[in-house]
Amino acid sequence: MDITRNAVNSIDDIFQQLNEKADLVYKHLWLYNEHDTHSRDYGTGQLITTAEVHTIGIIESNEGISVTKLALICHRTKGTVSQLVNKLEKNGYISRVKLPDNGKTVRLYITENGKIISRAHKAYDRSEVTRIINELLKECTMDEINSFYKVLACRNNILESDHKNGVL
């Protein structure tokens, strides 16, 4: 009976530790989601969300990308990305160009206004990443920070694999 109680206590302890880790991940996701959907001025006088400005960056790096390919890169549905693209086009950050030989095929390109906001966002990101690393260095070593980014990259690979294999 004592061995069984010890085994149950051990399992409970392991579950509690795993639950605390999972809760930490969920809290980070919730906080980052709030950050991702919050509009901010990146120094251009224009309010834009993190998701929108990152989408502009992807289009800038992949001139002529299709909505379908953009949805794959963003791990979002084509419908969700289409809505985002509509908003970015309406606000003058991107343009859609139909291919002359196929009127159904549309390619996305960044506009001059999109380039301005993209440059401002990149400057903001450099400053913000530096600020966050400096804050982390108050409690973590650089090796620990690098380990975090390694684990994050591995976790992303797992999630991308799950997404690709229909687990998500």
Comparing CA positions, the residue from 45, 22, 54 lying closest to residue 128 is: 54
Segment 150-164, tens digit of pLDDT: 999 999 899 888 878
pLDDT at 59: 98
pLDDT at 105: 83
pTM of the shown model: 0.80
Segment 94-106, tens digit of pLDDT: 999 988 887 778 9
DSSP 109: E
pLDDT at 84: 96
